[in-house]
Amino acid sequence: MEIKIGTKEMLITLKVLAWIIFIGLCIEAGGMLFNTFFSLVINPIGAKKFWMQIDLSALMAYDKGYFLVVTTIMSIVSVMKALMFFLIVRLFHNKEFSFLQPFNQTLSHFVANLAYCSFGIGLFSIWGLKYTKWLSLSGTYIPSVEELHMGGADVWLFMSVVVFVIAQIFKRGIEIQTENDLTV
Q: What is the pLDDT of residues 139-159, one digit of tens each?
A: 888 888 888 888 888 999 999
Q: What is the pLDDT of residues 18-30, one digit of tens each?
A: 999 999 999 999 9
Quick check: pTM over 0.85? yes
Average pLDDT, whole number, for the chain?
A: 88
**The predicted structure's pLDDT at residue 85:** 96
- pLDDT category at 103 given cuts 50, 70, 90 is confident
- pLDDT category at 120 given cuts 50, 70, 90 is very high
- State yes or no: pLDDT of 3 exceeds 80: no
- State yes or no: pLDDT of 44 exceeds 90: no
- pLDDT category at 183 given cuts 50, 70, 90 is low
**The predicted structure's pLDDT at residue 1:** 63
Which amino acid, residue 12? I
- State yes or no: pLDDT of 109 exceeds 80: yes
Domain locations along the chain: 7-183
Spatial separation of the C-alpha atoms in residues 29 and 51, rounded to whole Å: 10
**The predicted structure's pLDDT at residue 116:** 96
**The predicted structure's pLDDT at residue 184:** 56
Spatial separation of the C-alpha atoms in residues 141 and 93, rounded to whole Å: 45
